[in-house]
Amino acid sequence: MKPSVIRIGTRGSPLALWQAEHVRQLLAGHSPDLEYEIVTITTSGDRMLDTPLPVIGGKGVFTAELEQGLHERSIDLAVHSLKDLPTAASPGLALGAVIERGDSADVLVSKSGFAMSSLPHGASVGTSSSRRAAQLLFARPDIQLIDLRGNAGTRLRKALDPSGPYDAVVVALAALARLGRMEVVSEIMSEDVMLPAPGQGAIAVQCRDEADGLALVRAIAHEATELETTAERAFLEGLGGGCAVPVAARARLGNDGWLHIRGRVLAFDGSTRVDVEATEQMALGRDGRQEAYQIGLRLAEDALRRGASGLLADTKGPAGL
């Protein structure tokens, strides 16, 4: 039997709380007979802000404690930024729904208003992401990378500090849009320069693999977003899942049922980039996600044939990250 109060677990950053409240409102619109409580959980990624993400374990550091809360039944649902959720499913848990995606682009924020083309030679750019770092170096080998940790608000404050070390930082457009901070954007980066992370801009709702919880969250799922992100995450999984090598992907499902996906694998130092893409007709409905998954896996195989396998063997990140 469903509990009368649904406890929604989330990280405590302003962005995470916005996302949890957004999910709460969507659920309340479909199941107004239930009460919803937002429960804040601090993850190891939130506590260890002085250490680069690849050193402390990468993306899973933002999700493990929330998943533990689901297993221990201290929460009923967990809200994640989908790009932070590992591709390997946790036993007993399910990715119940992915809601309609925001903009997946990355943006440049600069206190001096610099765009990529106008950054001075040797400019200092902040990011904690190996994917962003490698693509920055591919486009501008002269720039200097500086690790940048903290929630979106903290990173913006560091980026705009007149006496700070950053000429620019790279952050997700969706995060700034949700926080109402689009005025700080210096440039929306093109996907030719900065292809997003698999699942970027999408919000995931995780639950226990039980009928009641799954039925509750399926009501707010967005089919096109789920198919797109399934293909993107399958591309990542096909390359090794949680590997720390810079991997990017973006899929788009057209109204005509054709799914177009781009994938990218890079060397940490930006010296090598493998780009692949595919367009395939989708069968929507019950079998759609499995089909999208297979499209992503096939694209990963293509990337491996084109040289990504050599990049996957490299485990040394760029200096400073």
Residue in 46, 76, 84, 167 annotated catalytic? 84
DSSP one-letter code for 89: P
DSSP one-letter code for 316: P
Q: Which helix (H) or strand (E) holds 27?
A: helix 14-30
The Cα 6–Cα 216 span in angstroms is 10
Q: Is 301 exposed, middle or buried (0-12, 13-18, 19+ CB in 10 A)?
A: middle
The Cα 289–Cα 273 span in angstroms is 28
b (16+ CB within 10 A) / e for 13-30:
bebbebbbebbbebbeee
Backbone angles phi, psi at 185, to 5 degrees: -70, 125
Catalytic residue list contains 84: yes
Cα end-to-end span (Å), the chain = 47
The Cα 29–Cα 7 span in angstroms is 16
273 alpha-carbon distance from chain centroid: 20
Contact present, 10 and 39 (Cβ < 8 Å): yes
- 190: which residues sit within 8 A by CB, 6+ positions away? none
Q: Which residues are catalytically annotated?
A: 84
